[in-house]
Structures are given as structure tokens and as C-alpha cells.
Amino acid sequence: MNSHELFHTLHQLSRQLTNSLNEALKPLGLYGSQWSVIFVLQTKGSLTQKELCDYLFVEAPPMTRTIQRLVKQGYVRQVQGKDKREKLIQLTDLALQLYPEWEKTVFETNQTLLKHLPETSQEELFHLQKSWLQQLL
């Protein structure tokens, strides 16, 4: 193996998975980046945009864009914090109501994508990726 192949394969894999997720979310009117924000908000509760950026390792400008789309769709609210620079982002009742269906769709898509990868391989892959990523950050 040479390093080119390793990087190339990882890149391909990431793209294929992203495309599959977006395809699955399309009928729900959501994009992958929106889902990632919704998922974090649902599991961690209200967060500021900065906290969302830090958690998802995304720069502020794309986060602004994603959140503005979510606001427009009525899935998220921006509330000014005590620190007036901050905006607290929280899911709306509409989003909480639709969440179970979204979660189900994403989960089933993930399961389909993982179908032919044995569970031990999934664990191994996750472990390797995570330790590599942590070394890079």
C-alpha cells in the first residue's frame, strides 16, 4: 500500500456516504449539514453557534448559513444570549415533533450502508479513525 491510496480511498468513502445520506434526507427536505446540527442540538440541548462550530469542527461562516436555512424552515430559533454577541440556537417544537422520523430515516440509511461490514470491522474502523483524528487535532 502507498499513502496515496489510503487518502484517496478515505476521500471516496466519505463522499459516497455523504451522497447517500443526502439522498435519503432529500424527501424530508433536509441536507446532511442541517441534520448534523439538528442531531447535536437534540442530544446536547441548546448551544451557541460557537459551541456548535467547536463541536462539529466547522468554521463559523458555513454554520451561519446552515442555521439560517434551518431558521427559515422553522426548525430552529436564534435567541440572543446574556452576552449580546452570542446567539443561542434551539430546536423548535416543530423540529422536536419531526425529529423521530428524521432519526429513523438516518439510522436506517446508516444501517443499510453498514449492512455488509461486519460489526467487528465497524468497531475497528471507528477506533482507527478516532485515534488518527485525535492525533491530528
C-beta closer to DNA: residue 44 or 65: 65
Does residue 124 contact residue 50 with C-beta atoms inside 8 Å?
Answer: no
Cα separation, 16 vs 11, in Å, equals 9
Q: How far is the CB of 137 from its own copies (least distance, A)?
A: 7
Q: Among its own copies, DNA, none, what binds residue 124 when CB lies within 5 to 8 Å by partner kind? A: its own copies
Beta carbons within 10 angstroms of residue 78's beta carbon: 16
Indicate whether 79 belongs to the interface with its own copies (CB under 8 A): no
Indicate whether 122 belongs to the interface with its own copies (CB under 8 A): yes
Indicate whether 123 belongs to the interface with its own copies (CB under 8 A): yes
Cα separation, 19 vs 13, in Å, equals 10
Cα separation, 107 vs 24, in Å, equals 10
C-beta closer to its own copies: residue 3 or 84: 3
- DSSP letter (8 states) at residue 69: H
Residues in contact with DNA by the rule CB under 7 A: 11, 15, 19, 22, 31-34, 36, 48-50, 53, 57-69, 78, 81-87
